[in-house]
């Protein structure tokens, strides 16, 4: 199929990410963005996953410029508070994640010793400090960030223009199909646009892909939150090195720091709360009044097919599962890379394979988010409702395996390379939920070759420095960011 001209409809984060990846992959192709200035950014989540680092390196984003222009802060993971277990962090740290024959032998050593979550993520980060070594060696300590969503899109727009992407500010009002069911043209009130291929990044509207027959598949039987209340709070003297996921009575609250303010949101189940009641619960928890930015309703799920004919939906147009693990940007990155790898000479078989992989990504995100809710909290109707959910077959099977064995990549269906959440991610949340039988993990560790066991102890000794709170030559998170911003 011909793909010399490509239109990305929508200029939110997903639209800009997909346009930048496609333009980098195909610099000679015409890549245009068509977007309406009237359509705002949802901005529910302001955090990335580690997939951002791959994207940034690929399209040539300068980290220092990103930090300054997007009010970015460092993110090493997510801390979960009041989920019915001791507070824990989902944060994959170098060294701990070493594997031998797929097996995470360093984590195995830590778990078999019964150490807490702080010992698996570096206590210094829990204290929101950073070693000055990173700055002195022109490096950053993480691959993830919190962003001001609006400034991030301005930053990505600037890069898109520098790469030769044309941006048309126009509102598409109709889609015209060819005889074979593909998109022939798209029109606004004044113009008709003709392209070989179209990327639908119109968000929840799904304006293009819905005209081609794509259907929404709800995952509401598994994931029970369906509403969001989002708001901002003022700047603070220092920032978390992590996003906060605070369990509430009828859902959970996120708090993510950006330089100059905090982004917040209550993700809840509207069966039990009105928006006004949700706001009241947040204000009671924070001990202060808030100004709500948006109330959002959503149905967790995804399209049955995100690529149909000459149109591929990316971002919120294709899926929105739940913001708990900030998967939205990462999913857009993975989808865009998958599309760029399959766009040339595509046919129906290529499209079918893409859609299979897309479904694997969605199910992986769904199962990982659902995993967090398999916790002992039962104090409200919401948490009792969550506890009664029948688990998807693959997750149910794996949980039986993982009671006595640590996760490995072969436990997952699909092509594991493109999945957002892999064995290490599941391991850390399972450990936080106190899922493992530690005696079984000790038996598993002792079955490893002696040299692997010895290497685990050597690695842990080397990592001990990262677990000291009183480290010399450290700066607070905000101090480090201020230095980077002033030097850029």
Banded model confidence at residue 40, pLDDT cuts 50, 70, 90: low
- DSSP class of residue 210 equals G
Q: Choose among 239, 238, 293, 307: nearest CA to 265.
A: 293
Strand partners, 255: 244, 264
Instruction: Tell me how long the chain is.
Output: 488
Contact 306, 355 (CB under 8 A): yes
- pLDDT the model gives residue 126: 75
The mean pLDDT of 95-106, rounded to a whole number, is 93
Average pLDDT taken over every residue of the chain: 92
Q: Given a cut of 90, is residue 59 above it in pLDDT?
A: yes
Cβ atoms < 10 Å from Cβ of 286: 14
Contact 212, 311 (CB under 8 A): yes
Tokens coding 304: 């049955």
Distance of alpha carbon 208 from alpha carbon 202, whole angstroms: 8
- pLDDT the model gives residue 179: 96
The mean pLDDT of 228-239, rounded to a whole number, is 94
Distance of alpha carbon 259 from alpha carbon 486, whole angstroms: 13
- Which is more confident, 120 or 160? 160
The mean pLDDT of 260-270, rounded to a whole number, is 96
The mean pLDDT of 325-347, rounded to a whole number, is 96
H or E, element range at 211? none
Report the percent of the chain where pLDDT is more than 90. Answer: 81
Q: Given a cut of 50, is residue 65 above it in pLDDT?
A: yes
- pLDDT the model gives residue 36: 87
pLDDT tens by residue, 433-463: 999 999 999 999 999 999 999 999 998 887 7
Q: Given a cut of 70, is residue 163 above it in pLDDT?
A: yes
Cβ atoms < 10 Å from Cβ of 412: 20
Q: Given a cut of 70, is residue 209 above it in pLDDT?
A: yes
Q: Using the structure block, give the residue that is written with the tokens 């949980």.
A: 399
pLDDT tens by residue, 378-421: 999 999 999 999 999 999 999 999 999 999 999 997 666 789 99
Q: Choose among 335, 94, 296, 132: nearest CA to 204.
A: 296
Contact 6, 20 (CB under 8 A): no
Q: Name the 3-class secondary structure at 17.
A: helix
pLDDT tens by residue, 273-303: 999 999 999 999 999 999 999 999 999 999 9
Q: Given a cut of 50, is residue 44 above it in pLDDT?
A: no
- pLDDT the model gives residue 466: 59
Contact 137, 144 (CB under 8 A): no
Q: Given a cut of 60, is residue 49 above it in pLDDT?
A: yes
pLDDT tens by residue, 74-85: 998 999 999 999
* Domains of the chain, start order: 5-221+300-441 (3.50.50.60)
Tokens coding 215: 């259907």
- pLDDT the model gives residue 467: 62
Lowest mean pLDDT among 58-62, 112-116, 276-280: 112-116
Report pTM.
Answer: 0.95
Lowest mean pLDDT among 130-134, 302-306, 410-414, 480-484: 130-134
């Amino acid at each position: 199929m011909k793909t010399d001209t490509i239109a990305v409809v929508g200029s939110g984060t997903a639209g800009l990410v997909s346009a930048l990846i496609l333009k980098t992959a195909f610099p000679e192709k015409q890549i245009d963005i068509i977007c309406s200035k009237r359509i705002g950014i949802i901005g529910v989540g302001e955090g990335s996953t580690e997939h951002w680092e791959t994207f940034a390196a690929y399209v040539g984003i300068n980290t220092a410029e990103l930090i300054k222009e997007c009010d970015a802060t460092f993110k090493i993971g997510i801390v979960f508070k009041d989920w019915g277990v001791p507070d824990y962090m989902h944060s994959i740290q170098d060294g701990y994640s070493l594997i031998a024959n797929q097996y995470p032998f360093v984590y195995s050593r830590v778990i078999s010793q019964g150490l807490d979550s702080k010992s698996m993520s570096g206590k210094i980060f829990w204290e929101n400090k950073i070693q000055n070594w990173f700055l002195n060696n022109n490096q950053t300590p993480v691959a993830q960030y919190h962003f001001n969503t609006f400034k991030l899109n301005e930053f990505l727009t600037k890069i898109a223009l520098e790469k030769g992407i044309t941006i048309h500010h126009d509102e598409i009002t109709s889609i015209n199909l060819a005889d074979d069911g593909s998109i022939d043209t798209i029109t606004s009130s004044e113009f008709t646009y003709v392209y070989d291929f179209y990327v639908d990044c119109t968000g929840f509207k799904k304006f293009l892909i819905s005209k081609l027959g794509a259907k929404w598949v709800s995952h509401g039987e598994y994931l029970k939150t369906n509403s969001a209340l989002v708001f901002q709070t003022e700047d603070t003297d220092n920032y978390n090195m992590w996003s906060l996921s605070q369990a509430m009575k009828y859902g959970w609250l996120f708090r993510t720091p950006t330089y100059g303010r905090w982004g917040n949101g209550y993700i809840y189940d509207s069966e039990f709360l009105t928006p006004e009641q949700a706001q009241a619960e947040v204000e009671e928890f924070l001990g202060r009044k808030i100004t709500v930015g948006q109330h959002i309703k959503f149905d967790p799920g995804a399209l049955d097919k995100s690529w149909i004919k000459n149109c591929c939906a990316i971002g919120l147009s294709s899926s929105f599962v739940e913001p708990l693990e900030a998967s939205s940007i990462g999913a857009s990155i993975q989808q865009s890379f998958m599309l760029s790898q399959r766009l040339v000479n595509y046919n129906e078989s290529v499209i079918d394979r893409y859609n299979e992989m897309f479904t694997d990504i969605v199910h992986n995100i769904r199962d990982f988010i659902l995993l967090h809710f398999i916790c002992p909290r039962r104090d409200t109707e919401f948490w009792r409702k969550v506890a009664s959910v029948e688990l998807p077959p693959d997750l149910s099977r794996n949980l039986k395996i993982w009671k006595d064995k640590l996760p490995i990549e072969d436990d997952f269906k699909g092509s594991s390379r493109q999945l957002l959440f892999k064995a290490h991610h599941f391991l850390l949340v399972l450990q936080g939920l106190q899922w493992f039988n530690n005696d079984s993990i000790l038996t598993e560790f002792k079955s490893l070759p002696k040299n692997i066991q010895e290497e685990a102890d050597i690695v842990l000794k080397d990592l001990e420095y990262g677990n000291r709170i009183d480290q010399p030559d450290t700066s607070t998170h905000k101090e480090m960011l201020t230095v980077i911003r002033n030097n850029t």
